[in-house]
Amino acid sequence: MSMTDLRAIVEAAARSEGFEDVAIVRLEDFFAAQDGDYFSRWLDRGFAGEMNYLKGERAEKRRHPGMILEGARSAICVTLNYNTDAPRSVECRDPSCGWVSRYAWGSDYHDVLKKKLDGLLERMRSEIPGPFEARAYVDTGPILERALARQSPLGWVGKNTCLINERRGSWLFIGEILTTLEFPGNAATPAADRCGTCTRCIDACPTQAITEPRVLDATRCISYWTIEFKAEFPQEIAAGLGRHVFGCDICQDVCPWNRRAPATHLDEFQARAGLVNPPLEELAAMAEGDFREKFKNSPVRRLGFKRFQRNVRAAIANSTPES
């Protein structure tokens, strides 16, 4: 089988599973780009906070994909659009309402993408002759997803650290399959960086979490505090979280590349009732059983009831004008 045929099988299978874009990245190109060294420096600056799953042995695996899958030669990277027609967070100014990040309005993306990646891999195994090893990941394994994707035409890493596609904006989930399959030939041409002189994401961040272009200090980020941090908020932190109860979309909401980003047609990512600009008092009144039911199969449920309550309390405090 020619390499052209091999690529065609992978690309056709990916699109049949509903992925918007697919690209094949040679891992040798990833190593040459030194993204692993950049990641190490980011960790050394303490920007990962208490996200210990990014550190230690897992950090080494992110630097060296061969530690995840022995003999890995390539990464098949795919994207899936989760944008909707619902309003942006910067347009929702009702002080009685909170904000749930757009990516959590529908079903849990881990499950949706993993099912599609498994379908892609199943088709590859049925159509590609000869043995090969492969492993699929969706934001759960030690993979530098954006670093891999930026080595391809899928997009560039913007100043807000998100992967941005010229046609689709940044409302994209990324998935990948590491494989021992090799795709010789010319390396994929990375997308051009089109952020230019724009600094809207940096200027709009209310906590100055983007310390410089493409550098995010997670310990200042609203998403980190409302999703990753496990304890009660320090008072000075809680005051800066605004009305966010799960994540933050501000740096994407203000990005010019998202002005005309297309909306997804997938039912799984359509906004569930009551998750767009949800009334804070209703969220505060929820019992644990209500929480489990409302956020069934949602990324929010992974947070747990107690931490969700913590976030809602902080949002309510920040929504009340000082006397």
Together in a domain, 66 and 211? no
Together in a domain, 35 and 124? yes
Two tokens at 233? 């908020």
Among 179, 211, 243, the domain-final residue is 179
Together in a domain, 79 and 215? no
* One-letter amino acid of 115: K
Together in a domain, 161 and 245? no
Could you tell me if residue 160 is inside a domain?
Answer: yes
pLDDT digits (tens, 9 = 90+) for 45-87: 999 999 999 999 999 999 888 899 999 999 999 999 999 987 8
This prediction's pTM = 0.94
What is the spatial distance between Cα 236 and Cα 89, in angstroms, rounded to a whole number?
23
Helical pair 3-16 and 109-127, crossing angle rounded to 10 deg: 140
N- to C-terminal Cα distance for the chain? 74
pLDDT at residue 132 tops 90 = yes
Could you tell me if residue 128 is inside a domain?
Answer: yes
Together in a domain, 112 and 19? yes
Together in a domain, 205 and 162? no
pLDDT at residue 323 tops 50 = no
139 is catalytic: yes
Domain of residue 264 covers 200-319
Of residues 320 and 282, the one with the higher pLDDT is: 282
Catalytic entry in 37, 94, 139, 267: 139
DSSP code of 2? -
**Average pLDDT of the residues of the chain:** 93
> Within a 10 A sphere around the Cβ of 73, how many other Cβ atoms?
19
pLDDT digits (tens, 9 = 90+) for 209-235: 999 999 999 999 999 999 999 999 999
Together in a domain, 111 and 27? yes
What is the spatial distance between Cα 43 and Cα 51, in angstroms, rounded to a whole number?
10
pLDDT at residue 186 tops 70 = no
Could you tell me if residue 244 is inside a domain?
Answer: yes
pLDDT for position 271: 94
Q: How many domains does the chain have?
A: 2
Q: What percent of the chain has pLDDT over 90?
A: 84
Average pLDDT over residues 290-305: 95
The torsion angles phi and psi of 129, rounded to 5 degrees, stand at -75, 150
Could you tell me if residue 186 is inside a domain?
Answer: no
**CB-CB contact of 162 with 82 (8 Å):** no
Together in a domain, 210 and 174? no
Could you tell me if residue 97 is inside a domain?
Answer: no
In what helix (H) or strand (E) does residue 222 lie, and over which residues does it extend? helix 222-223
